[in-house]
């Protein structure tokens, strides 16, 4: 049975992607998922070979048949999103605010509107040294990234099943909103990467509260540590409060961002590979204990 680990942080820039890539590199066999579909960076750290590219269809959106439309604009009144406007020539158009609810279709007295497929991005299946990488690019500004995340995760699950790969590791998006929810749903455990800062602590608290709603165990790796023992203590207290478990601490070290400039993760750094392996061992042990 495949186990799924999601790596999140609440705060952006805490080090999710570099830690995710490091963990992926020390596993024997893995399906990696980049769930940060509108700022997809994991593929930059994982040498990969893209095997297939598929269009991603977001929500269908409204389309007005100009031949049939009588310009009555009843649809615009039905639309809650200000997505339908009439131009100075009396022609009625759907703009980018359309969320695809279909209210206009229902309200149109002359059946001039239907919902049409809408490409919101692409998703990719790639091979990496020790398994597969499923990733995606949302078209910038597009809606519904949660749906795309669900899509790449489903693909990852079927690849893992088909190839009999024991672990799926998900690089999550920042924040605690719809994209984070789509990344956590159905996983076996969450690794929270917490930056040692006031913002890092605050966003961890929001993330831990969200994870709590899923009844999934979570583990915490403190990153960029060493500046403020006071904040670090507060993070420890918050981890206890939310029933998390601390699995490690990576200090702030200029060598890490310098290595990242050259697209090298901590798994390739002699001084940190052991730390990453140690974190992974604790996560795998926890997964074994989940029945």
Partner 1 sequence: MVISVVSGKGGAGKTTLATSIAQVLNAEFYDLDVDAPNSEYFLKPEFNREQSIYQPIPTFNEDLCDACGRCTKECRFNALIKIVDRIYLTESLCHGCGLCEKVCPQQAISYRDSAIGTVRSGYSERLKNNVHVGDLKIGSTRGTYLIGELVKQIVPDQMAVIDGPPGNSCSAVAAIKPADLVVLVVEPTPFGFHDMEQTEQILIQMEKNYLVIANKAMNEESVDSFFQGRSKKCSLTIPLDERYLKANLDGDILSSRFSEVYSSLKSAIEQELATI
Shortest distance in whole angstroms from residue 34 CB to partner 1: 12
93 counts as binding partner 1 under rule CB under 8 A: no
> Is residue 101 near partner 1 by the rule CB under 8 A?
yes
Q: Is 39 in the site for partner 1 (CB under 8 A)?
A: yes
Given 3-state DSSP classes, what are the helix, strand and coil percentages for the chain, each rounded to the nearest 5?
A: 40, 25, 35
β-strand partners of 223:
195
> Is residue 63 a contact point for partner 1 (CB under 8 A)?
no
Which DSSP state fits 6? E
What is the smallest separation between the CB atom of 29 and partner 1, expressed in angstroms? 26
Considering only 117, 129, 209, 271, the residue that binds partner 1 (CB under 8 A) is 209
- Selected from 131, 175, 244, 248, the binder of partner 1 by CB under 8 A is 175
Nearest distance, CB of residue 89 and partner 1, angstroms: 22
Q: Does 237 bind partner 1 (CB under 8 A)?
A: no
Each residue of 90-108: b (16+ CB within 10 Å) or e?
Answer: eebebeeebebbbbbbeeb
> Which residues from 148-167 bind partner 1, rule CB under 8 A?
none
Cβ–Cβ under 8 Å, residues 223 and 251: no
Span interacting with partner 1, options 68-76, 77-85, 150-158, 275-283, rule CB under 8 A = 77-85
Tell me if 142 contacts partner 1 by CB under 8 A.
yes
Give the residue from 229, 183, 180 showing the smallest Cα distance to 12: 180
Closest separation in Å from C-beta 157 to partner 1: 19
CB of 45 to partner 1, least distance (A): 8
| Residue ranges in 79-197 assigned as alpha helix (H) | 103-107, 145-163, 178-184
121: left (phi over 0), alpha (psi -120 to 50) or beta: left
Select from 126-134, 158-166, 241-249, 259-267 the region that touches partner 1 (CB under 8 A).
259-267
Verify binding: residue 12, partner 1, rule CB under 8 A: yes
Instruction: Please give the DSSP secondary-structure letter assigned to residue 80.
Output: T
Q: Is 14 in the site for partner 1 (CB under 8 A)?
A: yes
SS (H, E, C) 242-286: CCCEEEEEEECCCHHHHHHHCCCCHHHCHHHHHHHHHHHHHHHHH
Which of 177, 192, 133 lies closest to 159, judged by CA?
A: 133
- Residue 252 touching partner 1 (CB under 8 A): yes
119 binds partner 1 (CB under 8 A): no
Q: Angle 211-215-218 (CA atoms, 0-180°, nearest 5)? A: 55
**Tokens found for residue 207:** 């993330």
| Interface with partner 1, residue 291, by CB under 8 A | no
Query: Any contact of residue 81 with partner 1 (CB under 8 A)?
Result: yes
The number of residues that bind partner 1 (CB under 8 A) is 63
Contact set with partner 1 (CB under 8 A) = 10-14, 17, 36, 38-41, 44, 59-60, 78, 80-81, 99-103, 106-107, 115, 138, 140-146, 173-181, 195-199, 202-203, 206, 209-210, 213, 227-228, 231, 252, 254, 257-258, 260-261, 263
């Amino acid at each position: 049975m495949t186990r799924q680990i999601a790596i999140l942080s609440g705060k952006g820039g805490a080090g999710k992607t570099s830690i995710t890539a490091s963990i992926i590199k020390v596993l024997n066999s893995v399906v990696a998922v980049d769930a940060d579909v509108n700022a997809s960076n994991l593929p930059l750290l994982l040498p990969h070979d893209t095997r297939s590219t598929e269009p991603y269809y977001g929500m269908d959106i409204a389309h007005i048949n100009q031949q049939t439309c009588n310009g009555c604009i009843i649809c615009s009144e039905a639309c809650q999103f200000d997505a339908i406007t009439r131009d100075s020539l009396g022609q009625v158009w759907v703009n980018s605010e359309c969320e695809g609810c279909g209210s206009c279709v229902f309200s149109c007295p002359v059946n001039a509107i239907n919902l049409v497929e809408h490409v919101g991005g692409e998703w990719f299946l790639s091979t990496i040294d020790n398994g597969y990488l499923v990733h995606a690019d949302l078209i910038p500004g597009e809606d519904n990234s949660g749906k795309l995340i669900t899509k790449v995760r489903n693909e990852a699950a079927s690849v893992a099943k088909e190839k009999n790969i024991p672990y799926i590791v998900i690089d999550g998006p920042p924040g605690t909103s719809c994209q984070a929810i789509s990344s956590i749903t159905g996983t076996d455990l969450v690794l929270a990467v917490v930056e040692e800062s006031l913002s890092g602590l605050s966003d961890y608290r929001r993330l831990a509260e969200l994870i709590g709603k899923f009844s999934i165990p979570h583990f915490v790796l403190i990153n960029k540590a060493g500046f403020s023992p006071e904040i670090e203590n507060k993070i420890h207290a918050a981890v206890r409060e939310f029933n998390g478990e601390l699995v490690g601490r990576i200090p702030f070290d200029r060598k890490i961002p310098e290595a990242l400039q050259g697209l090298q993760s901590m798994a390739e750094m002699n001084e940190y590979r052991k730390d990453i392996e140690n974190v992974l061992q604790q996560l795998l042990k926890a997964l074994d204990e989940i029945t």
